[in-house]
């Protein structure tokens, strides 16, 4: 009985089917976790490889002069394994000498380190951290990349502290663990702390900064030209009928893309890698309805209530953490995550991503592609220096950072802004700086920003509450004539509701009086100008007039009745239609921000035709993809595959990257005349592809045996092919 009682206390056994399902579920979860780990490791390896590649390119740039090359080649003559390590004592370069004079310096970043490796790495890290002003995290990643490179070189030889082994007469340990490297890291850490941590804790792009940057875009680029052109296209005009030259189109495209990117980043609180990967298939919009709303915008009309409630939807497929939820099977419970409904906000022109997204898509379709966007076309495509847009290649992180630096410097905004600035600025605005009654709860902020539940106490505190605390305890404006009283209520909102003080009313009265007096002076000046102009006309027509004769303007003005002020104002209000002047510098007096993005479409007639047009627009939709090609995950294909991609582009094309017609089928006028900017790239691709197809009969083994340079990329391969063709007499080199 005791035995039976003991057995009865055991947990009931699951049926075989239930046990199998549980086992499969556990194995499935483990497999997904393993897959995520593999993907993370692959990303790390890719980043490390990029740091090493850039370091080697930087090092090679120091040896381009003949003198350096001669010294280096002499040194390279000894190809033995220890040639960079074992040296006579007289050949040692002391620490106080210039490391550039050491012949081993050229090979400091090889897989086998030498005595200059630690100094070269310290110089490279200093360049990135101090001169290029990269973040402490990036510099640490550079160190880790080289540390991993050398750790895997020769067993345990290059692990541990970097030192010279007197017994074996060789350098051992890892150069990345040297004292010089740690000194550089410490200095960069101190620099980041002194700057307030802005490199890792980016300054927020506030709404005021967004407005100022937007005004700068308007000052340096006539965006109203693009808006008028889109309005004409929507009215039935053909883009080809608008004689826009290449220079102006390139300028308009660059600034439109920047404004659209900034408004979307600020509204959606995106990280850079999330927004640059946005594709047309991620946006759900009904052009039948939204074209009507856009037409009202462009016509400078007020949006009705029905149009204010129109929206389109954006799905951020690459939102950080979302794919992990899907892998864990949580997508059913959070089906609407990362889907954002975008409504018009005409009272916030710099942040109205509803308006700018529709304008940007219309601009790409009408004036670049000559077709509607395809599902895999990137919303923010890269643009070459020749003005050609590549629909299958997104803009890079570096390009976005360059845009931010350019707009903040142009608008006179001080501070360090990373690509994270839009996410911080948008979140802070809706949490604590939006008008009273429009601020969001912490739960809404967490959902909109895609933060996980566990991040409420760390990430959200860093984004919102730390900023709010700093704002409420900031007394730098203690001498201001009107105190904002930030510490008296949440974000100082009591200042919007409290009664005005006597001192504040006195200041307002003084300001209004000054404005009225200034207006009176302006009117007197205007009256004098009008009277003198009238007298000049009278004197000129004296011979045709029987009235009194005047000898000069002063006499005429003294005896000519002055017209009433209201008549002068009425005449001054008559529409004057001057040609707008595009200023390429910021005005000394900053113009006030327009209260509506509808006002962007000014009523001033702007001539789209440029009399001095020298560069005609290429045929819409033509593109020759770059190689190595960019992948959807942001990486590029290996260099040694570039020639295969070129052959594929020649024979098949690449629809995902905009090459719908194979290069072999391109008619001559597609790379001549107005399209001559494609000529050089077209002939380069033809040279490589036809060499493989005709000369080597598409035999890959023979081709690679003849041209081992293909492993180094298509540029080196092209040089080798041209050299071989010249030797065969198939190519005549032009004397330079």
pLDDT digits (tens, 9 = 90+) for 152-177: 887 778 888 898 888 888 888 999 99
Please check whether residue 688 lies inside any domain of the structure: yes
The whole-number pLDDT of residue 406 equals 94
The C-alpha atoms of residue 666 and residue 650 are separated, in whole angstroms, by: 10
Q: What is the 3-state secondary structure (H, E, C) of 365-378?
A: HHHHHCCCCCCCCE
Q: What distances in angstroms separate CA 600 from CA 133, 211, 596, 684, 714, one per listed residue?
A: 36, 13, 8, 44, 46
Dihedral over Cα of 374, 376, 377, 379: its sign: positive
Query: CB count, 10 Å around CB of 192?
Result: 19
The angle, 0 to 180 degrees and rounded to 10, between the axes of the packed helices 714-728 and 679-690 is 70
Q: What is the 3-state secondary structure (H, E, C) of 581-640?
A: CCCCCCCCCCCCCCCCHHHHCCCCCCCCCCCCCCCCCCCCCCCCCCCCCECCCCCECCHH
Domain stops at, among 145, 166, 194:
194
Please check whether residue 559 lies inside any domain of the structure: yes
% of residues, the chain, pLDDT over 70: 66
The whole-number pLDDT of residue 594 equals 39
Domain span at 663: 639-728
Mark whether 511 and 566 lie in a shared domain: yes
Mark whether 646 and 516 lie in a shared domain: no
Mark whether 439 and 340 lie in a shared domain: yes
Instruction: Give buried/exposed letters for 476-502 (b at 16+ CB in 10 A, else e).
Output: eeeeeeeeeebeeeebbbeeeeeeeee
**Number of alpha helices (DSSP H) and beta strands (DSSP E) in the chain:** 26, 7
Dihedral over Cα of 77, 81, 85, 91: its sign: negative
Tell me the two tokens of residue 518.
């200034």
The whole-number pLDDT of residue 438 equals 86
Mark whether 454 and 516 lie in a shared domain: no
Domain count, the chain: 4
Instruction: Report helix, strand or coil for 389.
Output: strand
Among 25, 102, 105, CA closest to 61: 105
Widest CA span of the chain, in angstroms?
141
Please check whether residue 627 lies inside any domain of the structure: no
The whole-number pLDDT of residue 455 equals 55
The C-alpha atoms of residue 640 and residue 628 are separated, in whole angstroms, by: 9
Mark whether 285 and 406 lie in a shared domain: yes
Mark whether 472 and 355 lie in a shared domain: yes
pLDDT digits (tens, 9 = 90+) for 390-404: 998 899 888 999 999
DSSP category for residue 662: -
**Cross-sheet strand order for the sheet of 339-342:** 283-284, 312-315, 339-342
Is residue 547 over pLDDT 80? no
Dihedral over Cα of 435, 440, 446, 450: its sign: negative
Domain stops at, among 476, 493, 520:
476
Instruction: Report helix, strand or coil for 678.
Output: helix
Mark whether 180 and 214 lie in a shared domain: no
Beta bridge partners of 163: 172
Picking from 69-73, 119-123, 438-442, which range would have the lowest pLDDT averaged per residue?
A: 69-73
Q: What is the mean pLDDT of residues 701-720?
A: 89
Q: Which helix (H) or strand (E) holds 170?
A: strand 170-172
The whole-number pLDDT of residue 400 equals 93
The whole-number pLDDT of residue 234 equals 92
pLDDT digits (tens, 9 = 90+) for 63-101: 754 444 443 333 443 333 333 333 333 333 344 345 667
**pLDDT: which is higher, 621 or 540:** 621
**pLDDT: which is higher, 564 or 220:** 220
- Backbone Cα Rg of the chain: 34
Please check whether residue 568 lies inside any domain of the structure: yes
Is residue 415 over pLDDT 80? yes
Please check whether residue 450 lies inside any domain of the structure: yes
The C-alpha atoms of residue 532 and residue 93 are separated, in whole angstroms, by: 84
**pLDDT: which is higher, 268 or 30:** 268
Mark whether 184 and 211 lie in a shared domain: no
The C-alpha atoms of residue 262 and residue 720 are separated, in whole angstroms, by: 44
Is residue 703 over pLDDT 70? yes
Please check whether residue 301 lies inside any domain of the structure: yes
Instruction: Report helix, strand or coil for 326.
Output: helix
The whole-number pLDDT of residue 562 equals 46
The residues near 27 (Cβ < 8 Å, ≥ 6 apart) are: none
Cβ(267)–Cβ(278) below 8 Å: no
pLDDT digits (tens, 9 = 90+) for 416-434: 898 889 998 998 899 888 8
The whole-number pLDDT of residue 290 equals 92
Mark whether 329 and 468 lie in a shared domain: yes
Is residue 566 over pLDDT 90? no
Per-chain mean pLDDT for the chain: 75
**pLDDT: which is higher, 277 or 14:** 277
pLDDT digits (tens, 9 = 90+) for 305-348: 888 889 999 998 888 766 555 555 554 445 567 889 999 999 99
Mark whether 443 and 541 lie in a shared domain: no
Domain stops at, among 162, 194, 226:
194
**pLDDT: which is higher, 462 or 590:** 462
pLDDT digits (tens, 9 = 90+) for 183-241: 888 888 877 666 544 444 568 899 999 999 999 999 999 999 999 999 999 999 998 88
Among 151, 162, 167, 158, CA closest to 86: 167
Mark whether 362 and 278 lie in a shared domain: yes
Give the range with max mean pLDDT: 68-72, 103-107, 378-382, 695-699.
378-382
The C-alpha atoms of residue 408 and residue 258 are separated, in whole angstroms, by: 12
* pTM for the predicted model, two decimal places: 0.52
Mark whether 409 and 543 lie in a shared domain: no
Long-range contacts of 665-672, Cβ-Cβ distance < 8 Å, separation of 24 or more:
669/619, 670/619, 670/622
CATH classification at residue 236: 1.10.443.10
Q: What is the mean pLDDT of residues 254-267?
A: 96
% of residues, the chain, pLDDT over 90: 26
Please check whether residue 628 lies inside any domain of the structure: no
Tell me the two tokens of residue 584.
């390429």
The whole-number pLDDT of residue 208 equals 94
Please check whether residue 389 lies inside any domain of the structure: yes
Cα dihedral 60, 66, 68, 74, rounded to 10, equals: 110
CA angle 587, 593, 594 (to 5 degrees): 120
């Amino acid at each position: 009985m005791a035995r039976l009682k003991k057995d009865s206390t055991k947990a009931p056994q699951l049926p075989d089917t239930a046990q199998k399902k549980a086992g499969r579920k556990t194995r499935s979860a483990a497999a997904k976790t393993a897959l995520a780990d593999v993907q993370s490791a692959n990303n790390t390896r890719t980043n490390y490889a990029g740091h090493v590649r850039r370091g080697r390119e930087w090092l090679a740039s120091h040896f381009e002069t003949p003198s350096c090359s001669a010294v280096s080649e002499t040194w390279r003559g000894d190809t033995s394994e220890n040639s960079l390590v074992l040296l006579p004592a007289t050949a040692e370069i002391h620490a106080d000498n210039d490391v550039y004079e050491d012949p081993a310096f050229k090979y400091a970043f090889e897989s086998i380190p030498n005595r200059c490796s630690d100094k070269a790495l310290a110089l490279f890290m200093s360049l990135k951290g101090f001169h290029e002003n990269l973040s402490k995290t990036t510099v640490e990643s550079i160190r880790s990349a080289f540390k991993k490179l050398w750790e895997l070189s020769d067993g345990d030889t290059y692990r541990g502290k970097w030192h010279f082994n007197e017994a074996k007469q060789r350098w051992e340990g890892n150069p990345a663990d040297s004292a010089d490297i740690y000194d550089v890291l410490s200095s960069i850490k101190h620099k980041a702390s002194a700057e307030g941590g802005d490199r890792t804790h980016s300054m927020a792009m506030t709404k005021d900064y967004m407005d100022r940057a937007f005004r700068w875009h308007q000052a340096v680029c006539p965006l109203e030209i693009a808006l008028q052109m889109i309005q004409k296209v929507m009215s039935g005009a053909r883009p080809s009928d608008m004689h826009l030259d290449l220079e102006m189109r390139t300028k308009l495209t660059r600034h439109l893309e920047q404004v659209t990117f900034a408004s979307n980043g600020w509204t959606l609180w995106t990280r850079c890698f999330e927004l640059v990967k946005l594709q047309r298939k991620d946006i759900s919009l009904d052009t039948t309805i939204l074209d009507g709303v856009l037409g009202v915008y462009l016509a400078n009309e007020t949006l009705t209530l029905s149009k204010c409630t129109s929206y389109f939807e954006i799905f951020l497929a690459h939102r950080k953490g979302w794919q992990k939820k899907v892998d864990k099977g949580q997508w059913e419970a959070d089906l609407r995550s990362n889907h954002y409904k975008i409504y018009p906000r005409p009272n916030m022109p710099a942040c109205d991503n509803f308006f700018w997204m529709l304008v940007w898509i219309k601009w790409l379709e009408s004036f670049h592609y000559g077709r509607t966007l395809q599902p895999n076309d990137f919303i923010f495509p890269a643009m070459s220096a020749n003005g050609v847009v590549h629909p299958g290649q997104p803009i890079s992180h570096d390009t976005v950072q360059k845009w931010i630096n350019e707009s903040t410097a142009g608008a006179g905004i001080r501070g360090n802004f990373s690509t994270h600035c839009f996410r911080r600025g948008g979140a802070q605005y809706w949490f604590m700086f939006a008008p009273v009654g429009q601020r969001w709860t912490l739960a809404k902020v967490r959902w909109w920003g895609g933060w996980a539940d566990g991040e409420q106490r760390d990430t959200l505190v860093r984004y919102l509450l730390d900023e709010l605390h700093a704002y409420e305890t900031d007394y730098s404006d203690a001498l201001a004539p009107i105190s904002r009283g930030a510490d008296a209520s949440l974000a100082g909102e009591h200042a919007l509701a409290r009664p005005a003080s006597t001192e504040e009313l006195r200041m307002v009265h003084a300001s209004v009086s000054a404005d009225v007096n200034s207006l009176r002076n302006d009117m007197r000046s205007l009256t004098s100008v009008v009277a003198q102009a009238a007298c000049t006309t009278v004197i000129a027509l004296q011979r045709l007039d029987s009235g009194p004769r005047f000898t000069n303007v002063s006499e005429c003005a003294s005896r000519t009745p002055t017209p009433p002020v209201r008549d002068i104002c009425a005449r001054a209000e008559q529409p004057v239609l001057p040609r707008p002047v595009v200023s390429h510098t910021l005005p000394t007096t900053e113009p006030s921000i327009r209260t509506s993005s509808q006002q962007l479409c000014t009523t001033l007639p702007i001539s789209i035709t440029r009399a001095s047009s020298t560069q005609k627009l290429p045929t819409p939709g033509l593109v020759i993809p770059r190689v190595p090609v960019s992948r959807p995950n942001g990486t590029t294909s290996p260099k040694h595959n570039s020639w295969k991609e070129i052959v594929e582009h020649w024979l098949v094309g690449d629809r995902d990257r905009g090459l719908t017609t194979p290069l072999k089928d391109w008619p001559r006028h597609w790379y001549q005349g107005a399209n001559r900017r494609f000529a050089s790239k077209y002939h380069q691709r033809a040279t490589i592809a036809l060499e493989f197809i005709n000369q080597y009969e598409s035999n890959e083994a023979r081709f690679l045996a003849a041209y081992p340079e293909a492993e180094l990329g298509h540029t080196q391969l092209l040089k080798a092919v041209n050299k071989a063709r010249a030797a065969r007499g198939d190519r005549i080199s032009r004397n330079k």
